[in-house]
Amino acid sequence: MSEQILIIGAGSGIGYGLVQHYLQQGKAVQAISRNACPAALLQTKVNWLQLDVAAADAAEDAAEAAINKIVAQAVTAKPTTIFICHGWLHDNQHGPEKTLRQLTAAQMHKSFAVNVLQPAMYLKALFGYLTKQPQVKVLVLSAKVGSISDNQLGGWYSYRLSKAAVNMLVKTSSIELGRYNKTAALVSLHPGTTDTALSAPFQTNLPSGQLQTATATAERLAAVASGLNPELSGKLLNWDGTVLPF
């Protein structure tokens, strides 16, 4: 059977880059997004599944039911590599906090809703499938700033806390998954600084070569996925596949 790819959060810059990369590689690709399939992909072989946005934004039970429904559709294709690409750092009302005095409940709620709750609900919906699918690989996008031991600069409270939490989500889930499926690999993954809307306000004064296009990032992350093995399950990996500290 050919490799089956599932990209959750395919409307994001990196998620969309991954969809394009795997399609160019001739892989069978499924995509889950709140957005409709982009016009540029309408003539491709991607199976684009659009989440029921009204349900996803409704009460918690309805949101979970919407995720369960769309995941049930996706796993019928037996995906062997799954990316979960959710990330939120800022919007027009909220920027990353430079000091604890800027912290607000609203920003923390949104950061945890997108960066932790959404991946958690998708992992929960996928769990039964992951316990049975041999050699399945799951990569949850995180961020190096979520590493507690690597934090030397402070700031960015909501984002750091939420990414540290998603790293713990992955670690804890990987332990449980390993009890049922010793061939599975579940990791969190730092994609590096990518030219997307998330990083756009923070790209000035970056060291030469640090900023990557979504295409280049997708190629690097696909290479990490290709080399993933159960011994790495539960780890936080860098974009080059090296293990980062928690």
Can you give the CATH number for the domain in which 218 is found? Answer: 3.40.50.720
Nearest Cα to Cα of residue 26 among 44, 8, 48? 44
Count of structural domains within the chain: 1
Cβ contacts of residue 105 below 8 Å, gap of 6+? none
Per-residue confidence (pLDDT) for residue 245, from 0 to 100: 93
Residue-wise pLDDT for 13-72, tens only, equals 999 999 999 999 999 999 999 999 999 999 889 999 999 878 777 777 888 999 999 999
Share of the chain above pLDDT 90, in %: 78
Two tokens, residue 46: 């991607």
**pLDDT at residue 1 tops 60:** no
Least confident among 58-72, 102-116, 207-221: 207-221
Per-residue confidence (pLDDT) for residue 57, from 0 to 100: 75
Cβ contacts of residue 134 below 8 Å, gap of 6+? 181, 183
User: Which residue type is seen at 153?
Assistant: L
Supply the pTM of this predicted model.
Answer: 0.93
Per-residue confidence (pLDDT) for residue 201, from 0 to 100: 55
Expressed in percent and rounded to 5, the helix, strand and coil fractions of the chain are 45, 15, 40
> In a 3-state reduction of DSSP, which class is residue 52?
coil
Q: How many Cβ atoms are within 10 Å of 169's Cβ, its own excluded?
A: 20
* Domain boundaries, position 15: 4-244
Per-residue confidence (pLDDT) for residue 195, from 0 to 100: 65
**pLDDT at residue 198 tops 90:** no
